[in-house]
Amino acid sequence: MSASVITYAGGMVRWEPGTRERLQAAALDLFATRGFEQTTAAEIAQSVGLTERTFFRHFPDKREALFHGQELFVAAFLTGARESQAGAPPLEVVRAALASAATFFADERRPHSRRRQTVIDANPALQERERHKMVGLADTLGDLLRDRGVAEPAATLAARMGTTVFEVSFATWIAAGEERSMAEIQSAVFAELVALAQDR
């Protein structure tokens, strides 16, 4: 990300490159060590030599320091879905969305994701925020399928199957000792879902 200059409160403020990322890393550090409730936005900012005011220029509240970047997460799914062939079956579109999302969960991201999850698991309000994010993703995928001409309830069902496969795969990916890639895990979980539907 390059530095940019924005107008702020009538003046000019230099928008330091990487400030947001430093705040996010500091937030995760403090949430993981002291606890989410016990950490203030001012403390996060101070821990990297910034002011509370700077913090609130980047995030509306401390919680969002854990959730910022969500649009990139959703975009990772949509890219794959949009590139699927016209007329592809709904679950193939969903599978393409999952494959594309896997690139967002590169192996080097795994330690960060594990740490973030321990913070979320310790706090019901953060768990709810995370559930809300998944509901939003399912809605977005459903819209995309409906735009492609998929009828109801197929569009909603296929979108929900996609987020279910994602959630189950993500929990596996961050489990202690797990070394398979997100793409590999998702393929296995997806295959299991299809097998379940056929085992009747």
- Cβ atoms of 141 and 77 within 8 Å: the answer is yes
Q: Which residue, 55 or 166, has its beta carbon nearer to a copy of itself? A: 166
In SS3 terms, 114-132 reads as HHHHHHHHCCHHHHHHHHH
**Residues 49-88 within binding reach of a copy of itself (CB under 8 A):** none
Among 92, 104, 117, 123, binds a copy of itself (CB under 8 A): 92
Provide the β-strand partners of residue 11.
8
Closest to 66 in 3D by CA, of 16, 120, 122: 120
> SS3 of 168, please?
helix
Q: Which residue, 19 or 84, has its beta carbon nearer to a copy of itself? A: 84
Tell me the per-residue interface mask from 136 to 165 with a copy of itself, x by CB under 8 A, - otherwise.
Answer: -----------------xx-xxx-xx--xx
Q: Largest alpha-carbon pair distance within the chain?
A: 67
Q: How far is the CB of 189 from a copy of itself (least distance, A)?
A: 5
Q: Which residues bind a copy of itself (CB under 8 A)?
A: 89-92, 128, 131-132, 135, 153-154, 156-158, 160-161, 164-165, 168, 172, 189, 192-194, 196-200
